């Protein structure tokens, strides 16, 4: 499962921080530029390509706090989903 968070303000294109976990030995997270119209499927495809992964059984999940996760459907738009999140200070988004 691929997880995302962000710590910047919403603008035309958003830099999503995508946590890839055990999918990569080299990266804990990657930054992906996405707009309000970018789908979860497009973000997953980008991450799969950047990491050189094979197969198509990857999902994107939104993470709230330390333990709440929700899988996004392939056609959901993560930046639009983020607009529904309550505003927190930047320190709340870093591990």
Residue 94 has pLDDT above 50, yes or no: no
Domain map (residue ranges) of the chain: 2-86
Q: What share of the chain is helix, strand, coil (3-state, %, to 5)?
A: 25, 30, 45
CATH, range 2-86: 3.10.20.90
pLDDT tens, position by position, 48-93: 999 998 888 899 988 877 777 889 999 999 988 887 777 654 555 5
Pick 57 or 8 by higher pLDDT. Answer: 57
CB-based burial, 33-70: b 16+ in 10 Å, e otherwise: ebeeebbbbbbbebbbeebeeeeeebebbbbeeeeeee
Instruction: Provide the whole-model pTM.
Output: 0.73
Pick 7 or 13 by higher pLDDT. Answer: 13
What is each CA distance from 38 to 13, 21, 22, 44, 46, in whole angstroms? Answer: 10, 22, 24, 11, 11
pLDDT band for position 4 (cuts 50, 70, 90): low
């Amino acid at each position: 499962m691929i997880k995302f968070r962000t710590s910047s303000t919403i603008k035309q294109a958003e830099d999503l921080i995508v946590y890839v976990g055990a999918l990569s030995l080299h990266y804990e997270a990657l930054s992906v530029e996405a707009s309000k119209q970018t789908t979860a499927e497009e973000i997953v495809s980008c991450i799969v390509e950047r990491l050189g992964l094979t197969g198509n059984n990857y999902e994107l999940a939104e993470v709230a706090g330390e333990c709440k996760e929700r899988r996004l459907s392939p056609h959901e738009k993560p930046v639009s989903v983020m607009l529904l999140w309550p505003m927190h200070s930047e320190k709340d988004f870093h591990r």
